[in-house]
Structure 1
């Protein structure tokens, strides 16, 4: 995950099988969300809540495997709130 103009970067390792573990602070919730989306990060269930129209872009990416299938995903959101709203617990670290 990187903030506006690549001013900061963060990352964690998330392992969901055979049981969830890794350094993700919400590993169980993130694994559940990924399973519900079938590993397709574009279809993660949206969180509810209003976001401002502030433009402070945040880029997030994921690389790995879900149920044996390769996943490579990257997306830029207008701000941190919209990113959290669209990705739920997956990038909540």
Structure 2
């Protein structure tokens, strides 16, 4: 949009209205990308917390599975040890 400025030396000169720099398209900061997650500290901390929570839960699942296997192995070992003791007892009776 243009308007005329009255100049005593010249006739009416067309002039462009100057907008403040804050509204100028040339002053838009494009160095920071909107939606960028690498620059947001809070998001990276939240993401790290979620990953740590998942890792702990995954480790707990593995540990519970290993504890179950260990319990089964101990039961098998106890049963086999009882059989060995019984066989030793039978051998000692025969002698």
TM bucket, shorter chain: under 0.3
TM-score by length of 1: 0.15
Return the index of the structure with the highest Cα Rg.
2
Higher relative contact order (CA 8 A, sep 6+): 1
TM-score by length of 2: 0.15
Structure that is richer in strand per residue: 1
